[in-house]
A and B are shown apart, each in its own frame.
Chain A
Amino acid sequence: MRIGPFLLRRLLLSFFVLIGISVLIFVIARIVPGDPARMALGPRAPQEVVDRLRKEMYLDKSIPEQYFYWIKGVVQGDFGKSLYSKRDVSADIMEYLPATLELAFLSAIFMVIFAIILGVLAARYRDTWVDTVIRTMSYLGVAIPAFVVAVLFLLLFGYVWPILPVIGRYSAWIVPPSPVTGFAGLDSLFAGNFSAFWDSFKHLLLPAFALALGSIFQEARITRSAMVDNMNKDFLAAERGYGIPERVIMFKYLLKPSLIPTVSVMGLDIASLMGNAFLVELIFNWPGISRYGINAMLNKDLNAISAVIIIFGLIFVVVNIIVDLIVAYLDPRIRLSGARGS
Chain B
Amino acid sequence: MEPLLEVQNLHVWYRVYGGYSKVLNGVNFLVNKGERVGLVGEAGCGKTTTMKTILRILPDQVSKIAQGKILFNGQDILQMNGNALQRIRSQGIAMIFQDPTAALNPVFTVGEQLSDVIRFSLRSIAQRKVEKKSIKQVAMQALKDVSMPDQERILGTYPIQLSGGMRQRVCISMAITTKRELLIADEPGTSLDVTIQDQILRLLHELVKQQNTSIILITHSLGVAREMTDRIYVMYAGTMVETAKADELFANPLHPYTLGLLASVPKLTGGGIAKGIPGRLPDYRNPPPGCRFSPRCPRAMPVCEFSPPPFFDVGYEHKVACYLFQESRND
| Interface residue SS majority, chain A | helix
Q: Choose from B57, B61, B99, B106 the contact partner of A240 (Cβ within 8 Å).
A: B57
A128 within 8 A of B: no
B283 within 8 A of A: no
B95 within 8 A of A: yes
B80 within 8 A of A: no
Find out whether the CB atom of B117 lies under 8 angstroms from the CB atom of A244. yes
B136 within 8 A of A: no
Q: Choose from B82, B86, B107, B116 the contact partner of A239 (Cβ within 8 Å).
A: B116
Stretch in contact with the other chain, from B30-38, B159-167, B207-215, B240-248: B159-167
A242 within 8 A of B: yes
List of B residues within 8 angstroms of A333 by Cβ? 106-107, 158, 160
Find out whether the CB atom of A243 lies under 8 angstroms from the CB atom of B158. no
Interface residues of B in 10-51 (CB under 8 A from A): none
* A339 vs B160: C-alpha distance when bound (angstroms): 9
Chain B 116-132 interface 0/1 with A at a Cβ cutoff of 8 Å (1 = within):
11001100100000000
User: In the complex, which residue of chain A has the Cβ closest to the Cβ of B99?
Assistant: A234
List of A residues within 8 angstroms of B1 by Cβ? none
Find out whether the CB atom of B107 lies under 8 angstroms from the CB atom of A231. no
List of B residues within 8 angstroms of A232 by Cβ? 59, 61-62
Size category of the binding interface on chain B:
35 or more
Find out whether the CB atom of A332 lies under 8 angstroms from the CB atom of B121. no
List of A residues within 8 angstroms of B99 by Cβ? 234
Find out whether the CB atom of B107 lies under 8 angstroms from the CB atom of A330. yes
| Interface residue SS majority, chain B | helix
Q: Choose from A233, A235, A341 the contact partner of B161 (Cβ within 8 Å).
A: A341
Whether A239 touches B113, Cβ cut-off 8 Å, given contacts A341-B162, A342-B163, is yes
Find out whether the CB atom of A257 lies under 8 angstroms from the CB atom of B57. no
List of A residues within 8 angstroms of B104 by Cβ? 235, 238
User: In the complex, which residue of chain A has the Cβ closest to the Cβ of B54?
Assistant: A241
Find out whether the CB atom of A234 lies under 8 angstroms from the CB atom of B102. yes
List of A residues within 8 angstroms of B90 by Cβ? 242-243
Find out whether the CB atom of A248 lies under 8 angstroms from the CB atom of B102. no
B174 within 8 A of A: yes
List of A residues within 8 angstroms of B59 by Cβ? 231-232, 237
Q: Choose from A234, A246, A260, A336 the contact partner of B158 (Cβ within 8 Å).
A: A336
* A245 vs B117: C-alpha distance when bound (angstroms): 10
Find out whether the CB atom of B107 lies under 8 angstroms from the CB atom of A244. no
B55 within 8 A of A: yes
List of B residues within 8 angstroms of A236 by Cβ? 105
With both chains docked as a complex, state the minimum distance between the C-beta of A255 and any C-beta of chain B, in angstroms.
10
B236 within 8 A of A: no
B72 within 8 A of A: no
B235 within 8 A of A: no
User: In the complex, which residue of chain B has the Cβ closest to the Cβ of A329?
Assistant: B107
22 contacts between A and B (CB under 8 A): A126-B61, A232-B59, A237-B57, A238-B103, A239-B113, A239-B116, A240-B55, A240-B57, A241-B52, A241-B55, A241-B89, A241-B95, A242-B90, A243-B91, A244-B116, A253-B105, A256-B108, A257-B105, A257-B107, A333-B107, A340-B161, A341-B166
Interchain residue pairs A-B with the least CB separation, the first 9: A243-B90, A243-B89, A234-B102, A232-B59, A332-B158, A237-B57, A235-B105, A242-B117, A238-B103
Which residues of A does B touch, CB under 8 Å? 126, 231-246, 248, 252-253, 256-257, 260, 330-333, 336, 339-342
